[in-house]
Chains A and B, each alone.
Chain A
Amino acid sequence: MKRNTAMWIGWTAALGCAASLAVSAGAEDAKAAKEQFFPLLVYRTGPYAPNGTPWANAKQDYLKLINARDGGVNGVKLTYEECETEYIKTDRGVECYERLKDKGPTGATLFDPQSTGITFALTERAPVDKIPLLTVGYGRAEAQDGMVFQWNFPLLGTYWTGADILVQYIAKREGGPEHLKGKKFALVYLDAPYGKEPIPLLEERSRTLGFELVKIPVTSPGIEQKAVWLQVRQQRPDYVLLWGWGVMNSTALKEAQETAFPRDHLLGIWWSGAEPDVKDVGEGAKGYTALTIQYGAGVSKVQSDILKYVHDKGQGTGPREEVGTVLYNRGLIIAMLSVEAVRRAQEHFGKGKPMTGEQVRWGLENLALDQKKLDALGFGEMLKPFATSCSNHIGASYARIQTWDGTKWVAGDLYEADQKLITPMADKTAEAYAATKNIAIRTDCKS
């Protein structure tokens, strides 16, 4: 008898769940007229969560700020929904994309996958679904060529610009590019599309400048790096370039300390230079230098607005202390760029109306933020003015050097990547991609 009752209860519960699911899956979300939906692909669990969480918190906080302070974009309220991808799981990213792309009155505004791997997977789908991919400081490097990659926007930097800036920085430290000849650089990178992206540019530079490039991949998630750093010790490179993410960064710094590799010869890309990576190591990472895409440090106007309008009202997504940290600020910038693209699209297609993905794409392609606008938005100290165009989907390629002094990041010089070298490379790679995928190169570009 007990088993029978248990069985009936179990079956009824199962059928009830299935029914409610069918009902809810079929039901459409009540389509409110004036809402702009932002899908938020995040990772708050797994080995990459320490770096993904501040980014995700910042994106939500900024959207909440725009709603609270400005009442949305020209009256259009911003809605959002998060979806967990765990960074390395491309299939989950694709699932999240499929689930969220049609939400909201006009569909998803744009996608910021927070992952180069997922970007690769979505690059095929985005043109079909007409939703732009915003990949600030990551993604496909050749996507800066908007003539082929109409829907990809690697604003403010790609791994080629970042790698080039690192080489420039080393050249400056060594007293000029001619002193790089005969030197040895080791690239310790995460064995994922993210880590492999800079290799073509670094190999190109090693050919022209005469330094030797040793590539040492680290298998995800990168908690076992003893063998990697023993190899670094064997190779005795002059500089190590770190292209890590998540737990790999702090582990790399700890292993560098344990194998006595001088931390001031360890250089990181902008995703390897944030507080979660060095906090744990503290004094042991003193001298470690990394890039940062937002230049200017600490708390400026937008952060204080967020504290006032969001955190003080108890709506903060993450802890208050996180506001103003490196990855948090970067998430703010990404969210700001998304919102400004919507605003720009509204100027062209109709103020006060929700924008479709196509219209937002136009907005991203015609984005021009000068110093006045940046100051008004509160990002004046964090970004330099930039503008995108039809063929230029990167907008600007600056980065600042920052060094960890044991307790905080200390800002250094600003560098600009050599687009005279990078743009032809990107164009060539993009054309090869277009040929394999049968994509017609755009002819509607004026610039």
Chain B
Amino acid sequence: MSTHTSPIRWLRRAWPVVVLATLLALGLAAPLVSGAASLGFFLEVLIGGLMAGVLYALVALGFVLIYKASGVFNFAQGAMVLFAALATARLSEHMPLALAVALALALMIGFAWLVERLVLRPLVNQSAVSLLMATLGISFFLEGFGQAIWGNDIYSIDLGLPKEPMILGAKLFEGGILVSRDDLVAASVVGALVLVLGLFFQKTATGRALRAVADDHLAAQSIGIPLNRIWVIVWSVAGFVALVAGLVWGSKLGAQFSLSQVALKALPVAILGGLTSIPGAILGGLIIGVGEKFAEVFLGQALAHWFHLEGGGIENWFAYVLVLAFLLVRPEGLFGERHIDRV
């Protein structure tokens, strides 16, 4: 078989993706072209969307890690973020922040161990649906447990991040372009995290073992990799990611119950990227972040103008509908592995 597909052949196979991408690009350019937004504001929303997307990707990384290594979709990731944030916030009231973070990390590792013993081991070999429901149960439990111990108020996490924004290009654009400083710091944290995770997976023995387990459980077991210990490690790493996400989001919003709702936004990000790919999660996050903000700001105004639907709230469903449309054309996500059904 030839290794070069002619452009026509490729187009015939991939036309749904091309159509979807074109529609999205048109939607992106529409506010600028129609004059609904000045270039400055357009760039502002674009940058804001990219930042928001990176933050979603941070939470989505937890989903990807666990799915990659154990095939379980962890519905409880949001609850883990909440628990880690609450633990840090409350502990830091009694001790220096660094110590509080270390203790919170220890708690997340303990949690990972408990999950492996009490949930994953009894449910081994059950269907994906059962495991999904089990993580749903874990999320309810963890939310209730976290608030029962730490409380329901808004607790602040003070990371010392700068809150005032930067205004760039005030001479070029009217009012300048607003770039949020703490979002920039958060984005660099995410970048650093992805680097650290990448190094961990590629260079360390444990990382290699994790990749082996992700590839093929049985083969990994047959060469002596202890599956149970690997799962504890995976959930601990996901707990670490949840802690970072909890710190970043918690310093933005305050540690409170609604923090777990952020995971509902990160879910489509993980799926869009393809559940087994870390770069996919980042790219998916960027796409959804931008798409969401554009839909909320511009599509909302368009709807208000044409259909008298006084704007707002599109953010909640846009990411999901976008992912739905994408899954229809490419069921495995951006970088996911092709799933082949066998009878």
Contacts and interface: CB of A to CB of B under 8 A. Distances in A.
Interface of A: 44-47, 49-50, 53, 191, 215-219, 221, 223-224, 226-228, 230-231, 233-234, 236, 247, 250-251, 254, 257-260, 276, 279-280, 284
Contact of A227 (B163, B257, B315): B315
User: Across chains A and B, which 10 residue pairs bring their CB atoms closest together, nearest first?
Assistant: A227-B296, A49-B152, A217-B312, A47-B258, A219-B313, A223-B258, A280-B156, A221-B258, A50-B154, A50-B153
A247 B44 CA distance: 25
A276 B261 CA distance: 20
11 contacts: A44-B152, A50-B154, A219-B312, A219-B313, A223-B258, A223-B259, A223-B261, A247-B258, A251-B253, A258-B183, A280-B154
B297 A231 contact: yes
Nearest to A277: B154
B37 interface: yes
B188 interface: no
Nearest to A43: B152
Contacts of A46: 152, 257
B259 A259 contact: no
Interface of B: 37, 41, 44-45, 48, 52, 147, 152-154, 156, 163-165, 167, 175, 178, 180, 182-183, 252-254, 256-259, 261-262, 265, 292-293, 296-297, 300-301, 310-313, 315-316
B178 A260 contact: yes
Contacts of B167: 260
Contacts, number: 105
Nearest to B183: A258
B200 to A, nearest CB: 31
Q: Which of B164, B257, B265, B313 has the most CB of A within 10 A?
A: B257
Q: Which of A215, A224, A233, A279 has the most CB of B within 10 A?
A: A224
A189 B167 CA distance: 27
A49 B153 contact: yes
Contacts of B44: 230, 233
Nearest to B143: A45
Contacts of A284: 163
A226 B293 contact: yes
A53 B258 contact: no
B253 A247 contact: yes
Contact of A219 (B37, B164, B175, B315): B315
Given A219-B315, A259-B178, A230 B45 contact: yes
Contact of B256 (A44, A50, A227): A50
Contact of B152 (A45, A224, A228, A231): A45
B180 A258 contact: yes
A50 B152 contact: yes
Q: Which of B41, B44, B312, B315 has the most CB of A within 10 A?
A: B312
A231 B313 CA distance: 13
Contacts of A226: 48, 52, 293
Contacts of A260: 164-165, 167, 178
B165 A221 contact: no
Contact of A254 (B37, B41, B253, B301): B253
B182 A191 contact: no
Nearest to A49: B152
B165 A259 contact: yes
B300 to A, nearest CB: 8
Contacts of B45: 230
Contact of B147 (A45, A247, A280): A45
A217 B311 contact: yes
Given A191-B313, A217-B313, A218-B312, 14 more contacts: A44-B152, A50-B152, A50-B153, A53-B152, A217-B312, A221-B258, A221-B261, A223-B262, A224-B265, A226-B293, A228-B312, A234-B297, A250-B253, A259-B180
B83 to A, nearest CB: 15
Contacts of B300: 231
Contacts of A221: 258, 261
Contacts of B256: 47, 49-50, 247
Given A191-B312, A247-B154, A276-B154, A258 B165 contact: yes
A230 B48 contact: yes
B156 A227 contact: no
Nearest to A260: B165
A81 B296 CA distance: 42
Contacts of A227: 48, 292-293, 296-297, 315
Contacts of A218: 312
Contacts of A216: 311-312
A315 B143 CA distance: 29
